[in-house]
Amino acid sequence: LRTWLIKSEPDVFSIDDLAAKGRSGWDGVRNYQARNYMRDDMKPGDLCLFWHSNATPPGAVGLARVDGAPRPDPTQFDPESEYYDPKSTAAEPRWVMVDVAFHEKFPNPVTLESLKARADAFEGLLVIKRGMRLSIQPVEQAHFDAIVAAGRGQAP
């Protein structure tokens, strides 16, 4: 199993929204690299840091778990959706997503600032890189474990 980081703006879809729903399609991703991670590399059971972006403060607020095989993102076919893609067809869907299930919410969210403050321990962690906009990122196991420990309130 691999470990990941998935970004969401809490004003749009927060960790509490996922907790309330229990499970959700990770729809609306319109970046090819992020799509490819979902289509090719994310496997059921993989754990994902749930990241709040455009938040105060931005950071990892909990965990989601990949739940099921990749499938076409239904919003690409919906003309009413802001994610509608007229170039996508049912026969050849352009956008693929996975479903994720709520796993846990951290009692102590791990802020971007705190991760940047320990840049030596998190060398290579993509989310702390300037200009990194990718909304689905692989995370090394050791980095993942340290962030989860901090989120659960244990000394890192």
Partner DNA sequence: GCCAACGTTGGC
Q: Between 6 and 146, name the residue whose CB sits nearer to DNA.
A: 6
Are the C-beta atoms of residues 147 and 62 closer than 8 Å to each other?
A: no
Contact residues for 112 (Cβ-Cβ < 8 A; gap 6+):
57, 58, 59, 127, 128
Nearer to DNA, 9 or 140 (CB): 9
Give me the least distance between CB of 47 and DNA, in Å please: 20
As measured in angstroms, the least distance from the Cβ of 14 to DNA is 14
Q: Which is nearer to DNA, 32 or 68 (CB)?
A: 32
The footprint of DNA (CB under 7 A) covers 7, 9, 30-32, 53-55, 58, 112-113, 116, 129-135
Structure tokens at 145: 């474990």
107/133 with CB nearer DNA:
133
**Alpha-carbon span 128 to 35, nearest angstrom:** 21
In the complex, what is the shortest distance from the CB of residue 123 to DNA, in angstroms, rounded to a whole number?
Answer: 16
- Rounded to a whole number of angstroms, the minimum distance from the CB of residue 128 to DNA is 9
Closest CA to 115 of 51, 65, 66, 68: 51
DSSP assignments along 58-123, one per residue: -EEEEEEEE-S--EE-GGGG-TTSTT--TT--SSS-S-EE-EEEEEEEEEEEEEHHHHHHTTTTTT
Q: Which is nearer to DNA, 7 or 143 (CB)?
A: 7
- Taking the complex as a whole, the smallest distance from the CB of residue 142 to DNA amounts, in Å, to 22
